[in-house]
Amino acid sequence: KAGVTQTPRYLIKTRGQQVTLSCSPISGHRSVSWYQQTPGQGLQFLFEYFSETQRNKGNFPGRFSGRQFSNSRSEMNVSTLELGDSALYLCASSPGTGTGNTIYFGEGSWLTVV
Amino acid sequence: AQKVTQAQTEISVVEKEDVTLDCVYETRDTTYYLFWYKQPPSGELVFLIRRNSFDEQNEISGRYSWNFQKSTSSFNFTITASQVVDSAVYFCALSEVNAGGTSYGKLTFGQGTILTVHP
């Protein structure tokens, strides 16, 4: 069974640009969530999507957005990039229903903003 | 609000030593899930264990064991006979659940413990 797949793995962007990151969840999983990891703030929850609807949201500015498609694949977008957006962005998937869901993570996308 | 504290920032041991990673959590929920993840340098968070708030049995998986004590809000992780391959950052995390017991994809993480095992 394939795991959570994230693309691209590494990217460098210039301040002011925008970036789109992609995530393919484990087959059958309908919940996809996104996290930002930085040395200073640690791992922080961005948002979660379930059945194409945002179900939960963290405390990030509106520059951070996401969406989920009918096949459960998800994308997150960061507009008007700032230097502080340099981070590892991790996607996670889980079934999203029922009890005791285990949340599995992808390898992440390393974003550097210069 | 939920909070997870991993007081040990870094731990350094010599191979074959036992090591315990501490995790203390805060939540007002009566139902919740606790997780441990391992993060090697590649960045991926590798799932190790999930424990629900109603199950206080300790668990052992090979060289790994977990001690969950609801009375002290702790969920500690012990590696027995550590190996160099255990070197990584370890995260403890707490999950919200809805009224039906479904775990949303939102995890609250501790700051992580960097474990270095020397040969």
How far apart (Å, rounded) are the C-alpha atoms in residues A28 and B103?
16
Task: Assess whether the previous peptide bond of A8 is cis (omega < 30° from 0).
Answer: yes
A44 to chain B: which residues are within 8 Å by CB? Answer: 109
- The pLDDT tens digits for B42-90 are 889 999 998 888 887 788 889 999 999 999 999 999 999 999 999 999 9
Say how many CB pairs under 8 Å bridge A and B.
81
Answer yes or no: do B105 and A98 touch at CB < 8 A: no
Q: Strands, E, within A1-114: which ranges?
A: 5-7, 10-13, 19-24, 31-38, 42-50, 53-57, 64-68, 74-78, 87-94, 104-105, 109-113
In the predicted structure, residue A103 carries a pLDDT above the cut 70: yes
In the predicted structure, residue B100 carries a pLDDT above the cut 90: no
Q: Nearest CA to CA, how far is B15 from chain A (Å)?
A: 27
Average pLDDT value over all residues in chain B: 92
Q: Nearest CA to CA, how far is B81 from chain A (Å)?
A: 27
CB B101 within 8 A of CB A99: yes
**What's the pLDDT band for A1 if we cut at 50, 70, 90?**
low
In the predicted structure, residue B101 carries a pLDDT above the cut 70: no
pLDDT computed for residue B106 by the predictor: 87
Q: Nearest CA to CA, how far is B90 from chain A (Å)?
A: 12
Q: Pseudo-torsion of CA B57, B99, A72, B36, nearest 10°? A: -30
Shortest CB distance from A48 goes to which of B91, B104, B112? Answer: B104
Q: Strands, E, within chain B: which ranges?
A: 3-5, 10-14, 19-21, 24-26, 33-39, 46-52, 59-61, 64-69, 74-79, 88-97, 103-109, 113-118
A48 to chain B: which residues are within 8 Å by CB? Answer: 104-106
Answer yes or no: do A97 and B102 touch at CB < 8 A: yes
How far apart (Å, rounded) are the C-alpha atoms in residues B92 and B109?
6
Answer yes or no: do A100 and B95 touch at CB < 8 A: no
Average pLDDT value over all residues in chain A: 94
User: B37 - beta bridge partners?
Assistant: B47, B91
pLDDT computed for residue A91 by the predictor: 97
Over residues A55-72, the mean pLDDT reads 95
How far apart (Å, rounded) are the C-alpha atoms in residues B62 and B113?
21
Share of chain A above pLDDT 70, in %: 97
3-class SS of residue A37:
strand
In the predicted structure, residue A51 carries a pLDDT above the cut 80: yes
Q: Nearest CA to CA, how far is A37 from chain B (Å)?
A: 10
| B42 to chain A: closest CA residue | A107
3-class SS of residue B58:
coil
A92 to chain B: which residues are within 8 Å by CB? Answer: 45, 105, 107
- Indicate the residue type of A74: S
